[in-house]
Amino acid sequence: MSPVLLVAREELRFMARNRSAAIGVVLLMLLTLVAALTAAHHQREVADFRTRQQQAAQQAFEAQPDRHPHRVVHYGHFIYRPLPALAAFDSGVDAFTGNSMFLEGHRQNTANFGDVRQSSLLVRFGQLTPAFVLQVLAPLMLVFLGYGAVAREQETGTLRALLLQGATRRQLLGGKYLALAAVAGACLLPALVGLAPIALLSGQASLVALLVLAYSAYLLVWCALVLAISMLCRRGRDALLVSLAVWVWLALLVPRVAPDVASAAYRLPTRLETDVAIQRDLRTLGDSHNPDDPHFAQFKQQTLARYGVQRVEELPVNYK
């Protein structure tokens, strides 16, 4: 057996002997599986609800009596955004963007009824989905399992003994990284179980494969980061504190501060400002439904003069 595999095996044995570490890994795997099941159930309920609402809106629209098409346009129609198949894994921005929109003539409406505006502030922190577990909780588990991988050897003096026995520093780091990567793979396994039906039923196997590769790379980067901190710190306590600080910064603060920083650097108009701008442009163009509007009164006179008639009813075209 190569020295790298030997070091990895011994590191995994050390983790297994640590009962709290073994329990933590098992609990995280169970949490990922539970998150996959609950997220799939929630996604199915939301999709069914939106489908029912869309069917009801379609029936109400089709139940209108025969009328002028212009009146039908003013009657309006509700549309509901369907959920993508991968929403069971990561809901994305669906809770923030709204899920329904009212379409009507001469109006530009925005999506309404976002879940964040109708729920507690906990929704802003993150829903329990496999993506949330892998993005936030799995790195925390890797921190607690790997913070002492090298710092422990330095603190107890066993690192020098291992080097004197013929193992190189690169082999030791490679073996410990391999052991930590194996734990990351175990954390990813329940998510793969949840993604398999999505890949088979939705026909998005390539997208699911890309998602798996992205999360695998994400966890491997965390393994390297934790191991690097453990190598740079001489004491396990220092390595743990630094690793936790990095986790808080990267997993909790940056995802929530970055949007505010981006909004401050590249300011976009708010919904209220957009609505005001639309109304201002409409006033500039005029209101065709207002008989006293000067813009369309002039257009009406030009149309009557063009066809040489005195009244709208005498026009050879449908003016209304």
Tens digits of residue pLDDT in 35-51: 888 888 888 888 898 89
- The answer on pLDDT for 116 being more than 70 is no
Are both 253 and 131 inside the same structural domain? yes
26 token code pair:
């098992």
What's the rounded Cα separation, in Å, for the pair 86 and 199?
Answer: 9
Residue 14: band (very low, low, confident or very high) from pLDDT cuts 50, 70, 90: confident
Are both 113 and 138 inside the same structural domain? no
- The answer on pLDDT for 150 being more than 90 is no
- The answer on pLDDT for 70 being more than 70 is yes
Q: How many CA atoms lie within 13 A of 231 on its CB side?
A: 13
Are both 199 and 230 inside the same structural domain? yes
Give 112's strand partners: 100
pLDDT of residue 203: 76
Within a domain: 276: no
pLDDT of residue 11: 86
**DSSP-based three-state secondary structure for 110:** coil
pLDDT of residue 266: 87
Are both 7 and 152 inside the same structural domain? yes
Give 79's strand partners: 101
Identify the domain boundary among 62, 89, 124: 124
Are both 142 and 255 inside the same structural domain? yes
What's the rounded Cα separation, in Å, for the pair 273 and 89?
Answer: 34
pLDDT of residue 115: 64
53 token code pair:
């609402």
CB 128 within 8 A of CB 39: yes
Residue 125: band (very low, low, confident or very high) from pLDDT cuts 50, 70, 90: low
Within a domain: 48: yes
Within a domain: 148: yes
Are both 246 and 310 inside the same structural domain? no
Are both 135 and 45 inside the same structural domain? no
Are both 174 and 119 inside the same structural domain? no
Identify the domain boundary among 97, 124, 151: 124
- What residues contact residue 243 under an 8 Å CB cut-off, 6+ apart? 143, 146, 147, 225, 226, 229, 230
pLDDT of residue 114: 64
What's the rounded Cα separation, in Å, for the pair 233 and 226?
Answer: 11
Within a domain: 51: yes
Q: Which range is least confidently modeled, 67-81, 137-151, 153-167, 294-308?
A: 153-167
Give 103's strand partners: 77
pLDDT of residue 140: 94
Identify the domain boundary among 124, 155, 178: 124
pLDDT digits (tens, 9 = 90+) for 224-233: 999 999 989 8
Residue 135: band (very low, low, confident or very high) from pLDDT cuts 50, 70, 90: very high
Write phi, then psi, for 118 (nearest 5 degrees): -115, 5
For the stretch 199-205, contacts whose Cβ atoms lie closer than 8 Å and that sit 24 or more positions apart, written own/partner, are 201/85, 202/85, 202/86, 204/85, 204/86
Within a domain: 270: no
Are both 47 and 155 inside the same structural domain? no
Domain that holds residue 197: 3-19+127-265
Write phi, then psi, for 196 (nearest 5 degrees): -60, -50
Within a domain: 281: no
Instruction: Look at residues 39, 126, 82, 90 and name the one whose alpha carbon lies nearest to residue 211.
Output: 90
Within a domain: 200: yes
Within a domain: 139: yes
187 token code pair:
């954390």
Are both 139 and 236 inside the same structural domain? yes
Q: How many CA atoms lie within 13 A of 214 on its CB side?
A: 8
Residue 117: band (very low, low, confident or very high) from pLDDT cuts 50, 70, 90: low
220 token code pair:
């491997």
Average pLDDT of the residues in 254-282: 83
- The answer on pLDDT for 121 being more than 60 is no
Are both 145 and 103 inside the same structural domain? no
* pLDDT above 90 as % of the chain: 21
Total number of domains constituting the chain: 3
- The answer on pLDDT for 1 being more than 60 is yes
CB 173 within 8 A of CB 257: no
Tell me the Ramachandran region of residue 268: left when phi exceeds 0, alpha when psi lies from -120 to 50, beta otherwise.
beta
pLDDT of residue 10: 85
Local structure of residue 136 (DSSP, 8 states)? I
Q: Where are the alpha helices (DSSP H) in 148-251?
A: 151-156, 158-164, 169-202, 205-232, 236-247
Local structure of residue 310 (DSSP, 8 states)? S
**DSSP-based three-state secondary structure for 230:** helix
Are both 81 and 97 inside the same structural domain? yes
